[in-house]
Structure 1
Amino acid sequence: MAKPNEKVVERKGKRAGIAAFFVETYHELRRVRWPGRKEVVNLTTAALLVCFVMGLLVWAFDLGVAKLLSLIGLI
């Protein structure tokens, strides 16, 4: 949705086909706010850290379940 001070461009005719898709894609990509290098590094670090912690939690849960099953004699 356009912000109050943005110009909204309305098309009179409908374009069709693959060319229209690429033209519209180009116009949309011009409006994207691309993150800076520092923001990309911070978000990538956060994502990798979350993946690592979740991996540790799944590994610990797996060990716990395996130990429990071995104690009751199922494996």
Structure 2
Amino acid sequence: MAKTNDSMVRAQERRRTGFFGFFAESFREIRRVRWPKRREVVMYTAVALVVCAILGLLVWGFDIGVSRLMSLIGVD
């Protein structure tokens, strides 16, 4: 008989626990998460804000360009 894998046994036990097993497993997963440090969060936020500003400027510039092009053509 083949030896069962330890993780397979744990997975089967989790399936048997039902609704509350879901929450127990969720809390186990949350404990294993590597949460970012404060400096990382600040850097990621800064990058996101810069990218949003750049994209906003690009869209604004495109909008101005299309508006001027439409007014040159005579479509208002």
Sort the TM-score into its range (normalised by shorter chain). Answer: 0.7 to 0.9
Q: Which residue of 1 aligns with 2:48?
A: 47
Name which one, 1 or 2, has greater alpha-carbon Rg.
2
Matches within 5 A, 1:16-55: 16-17=18-19, 19-55=20-56
Runs of 4+ more than 6 Å apart: none
Q: How many residues in Structure 1 have an aligned counterpart in Structure 2? A: 67
Q: TM-score, normalised by structure 2?
A: 0.80
Gaps of 5+ in 1: 1-7
**Structure 1 residue 59 and structure 2 residue 74: aligned?**
no
Identify the structure with the greater helix proportion: 2
* Amino acid across the alignment from 1:25: S
Gaps of 5+ in 2: 1-5
Identity of aligned residues (%): 51
Alpha-carbon RMSD across the aligned residues, in angstroms, is: 1.4
